[in-house]
Amino acid sequence: MTEDEFRKLLAEQGYEEIRENKYPPDSDGEPHTHEFSALLMVLEGEFILAREDGSETFLVGQTCDVPAGTVHTERTTQLGARVLAGIKSGD
């Protein structure tokens, strides 16, 4: 998926806000939740989303969703990552 296609998808699905996040190489965040749902697409690097049931690595052009209230940890490999995130409240 291209960035333009992803932005169009976010608009079609009612995501109110778009954020770009940069993660340094070998990031390993703390487990946390959000009060909003997020749909993410990797723009650069490799992004690892760890949830209670396991972790998955996402590469450039791949997307993942994080429903509101989901316990998760955001990690990266030695490449770091740049991720575009659509934010939807009340989901």
Over the stretch 18-28, which tens digit does the pLDDT of each residue have? Answer: 999 999 999 99
Give the total residue count for the chain.
91
Q: Is the dihedral of CA 38, 54, 70, 49 positive or negative?
A: negative
Mean pLDDT, the chain, integer: 95
CA–CA–CA angle 39, 56, 46 (5° rounding)? 75
Task: Tell me whether strands 36-51 and 54-58 are parallel, antiparallel or unpaired.
Answer: antiparallel
Fold assignment, 3-89? Jelly Rolls (2.60.120)
- What is the value of pTM for the model shown? 0.91
* Residue that has been written with the tokens 């608009």 in this structure: 11
Over the stretch 30-84, which tens digit does the pLDDT of each residue have? Answer: 999 999 999 999 999 999 999 999 999 999 999 999 999 999 999 999 999 999 9
